Structure formats: structure tokens, C-alpha cells
Amino acid sequence: MTTSVQNGPADRAGKGLSSAYRQPGTPLEADLARLFAARLQVAPVGVDDDFFELGGHSLMAAELLLDIEQELGFEVTARTLFLQPTIAQLAATMAGTEER
């Protein structure tokens, strides 16, 4: 029996995402992209990629929110992540300039 061990992040191309890759444009977006990629084991993560389309689930969301609080000093609620699951949306909310 052969066991497959993942040696690094999976490529986002195989995820069937609804958005094209758009790179982070601010330091906050770059930090969030790094945290999303580390938690989801997917790279690269674009600012318009949906956390849940990338394979995230509720337990992983809780872990990501803890990462954000510990590393970036922002307390983000689970509700916020569920309603604003992209880096662009989350960064805008965190910066106090929610996208409309």
C-alpha cells in the first residue's frame, strides 16, 4: 500500500475557483494571503479567492481567525469570515473601508 504525502501547498489551478488570480495589492492583503495559503495548504492565494472554494471549512475558519488575531492583532468574527470570505473583502472590513 502506497501512502501519498503532500510535500507543499497544492496548486490553486485544480480547485475550480470562480475567480481568476489577482495578487495582493496592500500589505494587509499580502499578510492575509500568506495566512490563507498556510492554513489551506494552497498556493498562490489571490485576493478574490473564496476561503471555502479553496477547501476551507468551519474548523479551519476558526484556526485561521486565531492566526489572524495572533499574527496581525485583528479580532475577526466567524460571521465576518463567512459573509466576507475573500481576502479583498476581509481586508477591506479589517481596514474599516468595507467594499460595497
- What is residue 20's predicted lDDT score, i.e. its pLDDT? 82
For the domain that residue 67 is a member of, what is the CATH number?
1.10.1200.10
On average, the pLDDT of the chain sits at 85
The answer to the question of residue 48 being in a domain is: yes
The range of the structural domain enclosing residue 83 comes to 20-94
Contacts of 11 (CB under 8 A, 6+ apart): 42, 43
42 lies in a domain? Answer: yes
- From residue 11, give the alpha-carbon distance in Å to each of 6, 28, 59: 11, 23, 22
- Using alpha carbons, select from 32, 25, 20, 45 the residue that is nearest to residue 80: 32
Write out the E strands in the chain: 10-11, 42-43
pLDDT of residue 5: 40
**For residue 10, what pLDDT band results from cuts at 50, 70 and 90?**
low
44-66: average pLDDT: 94
For helices 87-94 and 27-40, give the axis angle rounded to 10 degrees: 130
